[in-house]
Chains A and B, each alone.
Chain A
Amino acid sequence: MSAKKVIFYIAILAISLTAPFLLPDFRTQLATLWLMIIVALTWDMTGGQMGYNSLGNIFFYGTGMYVAAVIAIALVYDVSDYTDAAAAGGEIFKFTDTQYFTGMLLGIIGAGLFCAVTAVIIGYLTFGLRGPYFAIGTLGVAIAGGELVSNWEWVGGGQGITLPVYPGDFNVGKLYFYYLFAGTGIVLFIFLKWLYSTRFGEAINAIRDDEEKAEAMGLHTLRYKLTTWGMAAFFVGMVGGISAFQLIHFEPLETAYQTINLGIFMVVCVLLGGKGTLWGPVIGAILFHVIKEVTWNYFLGWQWVALGALIVVIVVFFQDGVMGWLMHRKPEWFGIRVEEKEPAVAGVNQ
């Protein structure tokens, strides 16, 4: 890595770590920004890098929330007692600090693992679908997930679940969740940077460009697809778990399985930033989050119209996103160049 790049990455890291102190009023906003970056990056793993446009990744976010909450509660209390009491508005369940943090840690990791396994199973059933059929099929999974959970009284039904509040100071709590999201995001980014540089990265790109050709060349396509979606779901499930504790209260249709909000936003972020690139989803998430907050503040009442218009503009005029536009203007930045032959290269079989 060149010195310039090292400085660039250190600067980015420094901004990420100091941001909540530089903008103390926006700690929750910044945490949400990391959430957007994470779901955009994971969506791009299948959508951008592998060519499978899933509209159902939000399923893993919702499922992650529930799994994390259930694990945290079940470690201390009986889950159905807990949810029944919440519905009746009766008895208050207390968690000690140790119980709270152990539950959170195990809940978040458990959520990631559970979602990874679920993704492999759902993938096994849906990866036979291609193009728009895969998108609709996975959207169906997400909608069905929300409906099923909202009718399942053991996990609180349509009421959802209320988790204990962060035991320390309110502002420290905000910092705590910011770093949980930021930490996950940084780990995910480094992981993807490595993953896309391996043969695995090449293989999923090949599946995106021409899956039939990849099969004809003997690639283990299904294995690669399941692994990719499993890894994406692992991270989405984890941030779902973190969100559950950050939000304290969540319910199935609007918060957990929020198909038309976060479920669509993650796709828009990636399209805006540029599909199939590492930085595209990050840039897209930042731009989108800023635009979204501005419209929410200044066009209240019209925010959905403004967002809808933005989506239409991106899809019609700006399909390649910021990175795609850059790649078109400055191909040499991305190593796309004609290189004259070096005389040293001899024939094959030497």
Chain B
Amino acid sequence: MAEVMLRGVAKSFGQTRAIEGLDLTIADGEFVVLLGPTGAGKTTTLRLVAGLERPDAGRVLIGGEDVTLAPPSARDVTFVFQQYSLYPHLSVYENLAFPLRSPARRMGKDEIKRRVEATAKLVRIDHKLESRATRLSGGEMQRVAIGRALVRQPAIYLMDEPLSSLDAKLRAEMRLELKRIQQELGATLLYVTHDQIEAMTMADRIGILKDGELIQIGTPRKIYTEPRNTHVATRLGQPAINLLPQGLLPDAGLPAGTKTVGARTEHLRIEKSANGQADGVVDWIEHLGDQNHLHVKLGDRKLITLSPPDTPLAPGDKVMIRYNNPLCFDADGNWLGGRAQ
């Protein structure tokens, strides 16, 4: 395990700029998740660390050593691809043993067997060691792919949306598994996803990428409560944060310069209006079982928030809405710091 650093890294594909001036340090033993939409440069960042792409500018350091020009085999990394990148004609055992059989390692047969079996147990595929890779289900294939990365102890594990092809239940399980495995091994891990739940639950730090630039990096809590701008704020939270223009609701006491108010469920107090005075009308209620999504119409705007399953509100009800320490952004969408009131 080692510290990994990207310094001023840039990469373009033809006219398309994939990464621009990226500075990123992943500490030894840290789990960093890069979060962003498709085309934000997440995968390119991973491939640059792996050596599958060469940067146009900047440097890549692994364990203090400059590996900017080194091929993937010379870097001590493992990579889990988004696709099931198994060797299709080999058994699960042979797939897991493949990285260990590299002549550069000169690992003994018994040692390989021990490591493969331990890893198979870790990713819960030990009952299928003799199966052919192509005979597995999607979830099993991806567990083998993850296992093939874990079978070595590299400087850093790189994972490109490894869970996106799994069904919801398995994804939830694997999320916990991966975090457990990472903590057990004390592994350094750079993980790419567009799923905010994966980012929130597994990351030590989340990096928000947009159009090839790292907008903000920090602990999940910090990114959630202190987003640098409206873009970061919309990446996290379910339902998505409501961005309302200043003045739409009574908002005395907000910092000067506030142009946009960001309100998540916890930033809003909603009550049925008693005296005929109202800020909005309940449009409809989505019942999700354990909770409801409350859609409220504010003139020509709409606001979506969570409400308890036993909410007394019904569509058509007039409601009073008050802010409770919302996030405030200036005209450029930048967070104004501190909290209101």
Do the two chains bind? Answer: no
